[in-house]
Chain A
Amino acid sequence: MFIVDDLFVSPFFSLLDILQTMALNEMYDTKSIRDDIKENQLLYEVGERSEEEHQQRKQELESQLEMAEQIQEQMRDRMEVKK
């Protein structure tokens, strides 16, 4: 969280800032987490993942998604990086 905080308080955006933001975007890529949630559900439905494994993974991914959405929301408010 230190990286994110630093990024938000800095009034100037250097190349490093932009690279950091892009890295954060990748780290908190909500589409990728949603894909993992769908994959987890499918693997459970076809019997490749047990109920226990499925539930555990589902909880992990839902927590990740919640955090990623919050981070993305904060990043959208603070700066925009043109890709």
Chain B
Amino acid sequence: MSENLYTYGIIKQQDLELDVEGVAGADRIYTVDYKTLSAVVSEIDTTDPERTDEDVEAHNTVLQEVLEYDGGHTVVPMSFGMAFKNERTLKGVLRGARRALRSTLNDIEGTVELGVKILAPADDAVPQDDVQATVTNQLADLSINETENDLFTDRLIVNKSYLVDRDKRDAFDSAIDDVEAEHDDLTIQYTGPWPPYNFVDIHIGAEQQQGG
């Protein structure tokens, strides 16, 4: 059995075991503790996993399961591909990043990320600036923070990620429903809840992954 540990995210210390398929077909997701932190991990054969669509989806699925586990967890998500040589290396990294991780966990406590993309109709030449302004103002009022994402096609009039308190989730859902009801010509892609990928900024040195 490989000692390498693939890491999905960090939560406040808690034993957790999930029966969900992880990256590279892993069937056991569990936690490795370092003081007040727990890393959510599975075993993997390599420290440099290939970024396939299936594995990126598995990474996200595990994080969503953690997010919803036992009434909901706050999780600092790792980006895809963070695999460590062994448990000792992982704990060394957690030691180094402990202060930043604890601070981030406090900042995002009780929140989730929600994604909103709004597409104008394919044949629509009318500017949608007024819709864009109204909708984003409404959603901004219900969120703690937001990030503007790339408008990678002319049809996209909104592409944002919102950091939302779990308590405001229903109100946010309703606001999206209202937009859909008022603008049936628009296509809305509403995704989540996600761990707050776009609202954490922790860099763990690549050299730390390989050492140990």
Contact = CB atoms under 8 A, between A and B. Distances in A.
Interface of A: 34-35, 38-39, 42, 45-46, 48
Interface string B100-125: 00000000000000000101001000
Given A35-B152, A48-B187, A42 B122 contact: no
Contact of B122 (A35, A38, A48): A48
Contacts of A34: 152
Contacts, number: 21
Interface in B118-177: 119, 122, 150, 152-153, 155-156
- Report whether over half of chain A's contact residues are helix, strand or loop; otherwise say mixed: helix
Contact of A45 (B150, B155, B156, B189): B189
Of all A-B residue pairs in the complex, the 9 with the closest CB atoms, nearest first, are: A35-B152, A39-B153, A38-B152, A46-B187, A46-B189, A39-B152, A45-B189, A35-B153, A46-B119
A69 to B, nearest CB: 16
Contacts of A48: 122, 187
A45 B155 CA distance: 15
Nearest to A58: B53
